[in-house]
Amino acid sequence: MKSNPLHTRRNFIHTSLKAGVALSVGSAAVSTFLTSCNNKSAANNAAILTTGFNQTPLPYAYNALEKAIDAATMEIHYSKHAAAYAKALQEAVASESVDATKTSLENVLANISKYSTKMRNNAGGHYNHELFWKSLSPTGSGKAGGKLLTAIEQQFNSFDSFKNQLTDAGKTRFGSGWAWLYVDGSKELKIGSTPNQDNPLMDASEIKGVPLLGLDVWEHAYYLRYQNKRPDYIDAWWSVVNWDYVAERYQAVIG
Ligand SMILES: [Fe+2]
């Protein structure tokens, strides 16, 4: 198996943010983030990069993303699938004695190998969907800007090349899973995918870093309108990406 440098220099870093969130992740990118959290923007960064244990309200109406995702899919996805992950996460938190007042969801994810499969599936499922809703907007600009665009162009040659690579990651993820844009331990932008409800924050994940943007390629995310045509769903999904939010996450991670 190919050696992952992040495995060999994994340092679990634990700190408390001003916002009262404890975060521990085996990634230098997160280390940088944590360092930045010691400055005056700590609370801001924590708010952008951390996710609570409870489902938060959808930031737009079910039909707001209609040009890419139909209202029925959004309603079922949010109120049934994502709600079920949040509920099962609460059960796992209770049965596995996780004190949600003293640790963060990110900390649980960073140590997910110590927990049950139920925790892995539902902590991941809840985190991934909370990120997914915030990463979308009915007024998406269609393209990143500022420092994020510069970094994307440096890393992937062009914005179109980046889109093609992330699209391919989503199209080729066998079965259910996610495609990601994330920041790795060298503070570089990377594209990858994970199975099921795994994500790059997990110590059990083959790809490691801080997620900036997640593409849900579970059939429940697109089947009503797109049936078996996952590539068509991905093509449309790009039109509703909230690049302002992705850029805020990137800035918070790189400090
Ligand atoms: Fe989903």
7 CA distance to ligand 1 middle (Å): 28
* 9 pLDDT more than 50: no
82 CA distance to ligand 1 middle (Å): 7
* 222 pLDDT more than 60: yes
77 CA distance to ligand 1 middle (Å): 6
Cα–Cα distance, 142 to 125 (Å, whole number): 26
222 CA distance to ligand 1 middle (Å): 9
Q: What pLDDT does 36 receive?
A: 46
Q: What pLDDT does 47 receive?
A: 80
Q: Percent of the chain at pLDDT above 70? A: 82
78 CA distance to ligand 1 middle (Å): 8
Contacts of 182 (CB under 8 A, 6+ apart): 189, 190, 191, 192, 200, 207, 209, 210, 211, 212
Task: For residue 242, give the nearest of 158, 171, 141 by alpha carbon.
Answer: 141
Over residues 23-51, the pLDDT tens digits come to 444 455 555 544 544 444 556 666 888 89
Binning pLDDT at 50, 70 and 90, where does residue 12 land?
very low
196 CA distance to ligand 1 middle (Å): 10
CB neighbour class for 99 (10 Å; exposed up to 12, middle 13-18, buried from 19): exposed
73 CA distance to ligand 1 middle (Å): 10
Beta strand 22-23 pairing with 189-195: unpaired
136 CA distance to ligand 1 middle (Å): 13
Over residues 159-182, the pLDDT tens digits come to 999 999 999 999 999 999 999 999
What token pair was written down for 60?
Answer: 């737009």
* 99 pLDDT more than 90: yes
Q: What pLDDT does 30 receive?
A: 55
143 CA distance to ligand 1 middle (Å): 23
Q: Percent of the chain at pLDDT above 90? A: 79
202 CA distance to ligand 1 middle (Å): 18
Q: Where are the domains of the chain?
A: 1-255
Of the candidate ranges 29-33, 121-125, 129-133, the one whose mean pLDDT is the lowest:
29-33
* 111 pLDDT more than 80: yes
Over residues 194-211, the pLDDT tens digits come to 999 999 999 999 999 999
153 CA distance to ligand 1 middle (Å): 29
Cα 21 to Cα 45, 64, 220, distances in angstroms = 11, 32, 32
Beta strand 210-216 pairing with 177-183: antiparallel
214 CA distance to ligand 1 middle (Å): 10
- CATH superfamily placement of domain 1-255: Iron/manganese superoxide dismutase, C-terminal domain (3.55.40.20)
* 21 pLDDT more than 60: no
121 CA distance to ligand 1 middle (Å): 12
What token pair was written down for 178?
Answer: 């996610």
Who has greater pLDDT, 44 or 14? 44
Mean pLDDT of the chain: 87
* Backbone angles phi and psi of 222, in degrees to 5: -150, -5
Cα 36 to Cα 11, 17, 46, 50, 193, distances in angstroms = 17, 10, 10, 14, 27
